[in-house]
Every structure is written in structure tokens, then in C-alpha cells.
Amino acid sequence: MSQYYDNLIAKLVVWGPTRERARRRLLRAIEETVIEGVSTTLGADQIILADEAFVNGTHSTKWVETNLDFSELPSPSRATVTVGEGRVRKDVTAEVNGRRVTVALWVPESSDDGPPRAQSTAAKPRRQHHTGVVGTGSGTVSVPMQGTIVKVAVEVGQAVEVGDVIVILEAMKMENNVNAEKAGVVKSLKVVPGDSVGAGDVVAVIE
């Protein structure tokens, strides 16, 4: 996976009154999604969503690497996802970039579980903020994932405490604070805003 381009081409988002309903709707949406010309993670997403640990909410951050088998990925076009009894198709008109499009929704016959209520159309910031990504190593601060440095929060010679933000890393449209694990003085900085970094790259040294 290259760090020099954004490999996110689309996001598939569903809504449901409960986690389980949303999970089933997402499986159905994946089954109905067709993307040609490039490889996608749709097959892997089906395995994740259908796994017992995910269904029961007992998965962990290491679960994908240690527990799942992706050797035989299902084809979304051949996947079988049951719509379920008591659901009817409703064609809904939506506006996308100033154009009206019609989409099909499978909703319960009763009116208590229709599509989500309209949300504000006010522009939202492109980046989301996620805090608490701690630098690896005691005095050597390295980034846990590939991305782009958007801010260097310290200067050489500055005293820092454990948990102080050293740099802010943008990865997958989210800003992550990379924090100090050691109190001391910043001896050197290896990056400037705009630099692309890979997982494990050292961004600062604290003594």
C-alpha cells in the first residue's frame, strides 16, 4: 500500500436503529454494490461482518490479523443476503451534487423503521480528530501508521511531559495525535508539516 496516494475511493454507510440491524443492512448493501475496474475490500468486509466475534461484539484490535481467514474471499455479486420478511421496497428520490437520483430502500412495512431523518446539510470538516495515539519507544517517537504530518507541535530544545503532543498525523481522513512516552527535552525533529511518513518512521527524539 503506497503512502503517496489516497487509496480510499468510496465509503459505504448504512443506518439502523440497532447495531445488529445496521450490520445486516450493511451486508445487504455490500451485496448490492458493484465496482468494476479495481480491487476492493468488499469481500473482506463480508467476512468481517459475518464473523461470530463481530456479531457478538467480542472482537479486538488484533482480531482481524489473528482470527480471520481471507484466503477465499466471497464475491459480493454471488453473496446471499436475505432481505427478510415484512419488508417492502420503497423508491426514494435524493439529491446528489444538485442532481436528483432515485434509490431503492428495503424498509419494514410498518412506518416505525423508515430511513434516517434528514440531517443538516451544513458543510462538515473533511478531517476528523482522534486523540491518544502514543509514539512507540521511550525516547524515540515514531508514527504507528502511514500518513501525512500536518503539524509539528514542539521545537528542538523544548521540555515535554509524558502524553504531550509531538506531531499530528493525518491518516485515512483523521488527525491523530502522536504523543510523547517519556518526559524530557526534544533533542531532534525528523519531520516538518507536509512530510509523508510510513508506519514506524521516527519523527522525534526525546532525551
| 11 within a domain of the structure (yes/no) | no
Q: What is the average pLDDT value for the chain, to the nearest integer?
A: 78
pTM recorded for the entire structure: 0.41
The three cell numbers locating residue 154: 514542539
- Are residues 104 and 29 located together in one domain of the fold? yes
**Whether residue 36 has pLDDT greater than 90:** no
For residues 30 and 104, state if they share a domain: yes
**Residue 96 resides in a domain:** yes
pLDDT tens per residue, range 45-94: 988 998 899 999 888 888 888 888 888 776 654 444 445 556 677 777 77
**Residue 190 to residues 3, 43, 61, 73, 155: CA-CA distances in angstroms?**
17, 39, 29, 40, 11
Strand pairing class (202-206; 184-189): antiparallel
**What is the rounded distance in angstroms from the CA atom of residue 72 to the CA atom of residue 44?**
9
pLDDT at 113 over 80: no
Contact 180, 135 (CB under 8 A): yes
Inter-CA distances, 131 with 40, 79, 101, 167, Å: 28, 37, 38, 11
Domain limit, last residue, from 113, 140, 175 = 113
The structural domain count of the chain equals 2
| Whether residues 156 and 96 fall in one domain | no
Q: Judge if 31 and 97 occupy the same domain.
A: yes
**Residue 120 covered by a domain:** no
pLDDT beyond 80 at 195: yes
CA dihedral sign of residues 133, 150, 174, 53:
negative
Q: Give the pLDDT of residue 72.
A: 76
The set of residues, in sequence order, having a beta carbon less than 8 Å from that of 8 and lying 6+ positions away, is 172, 173
Residues of the domain holding 145? 128-206
CATH code of residue 191: 2.40.50.100
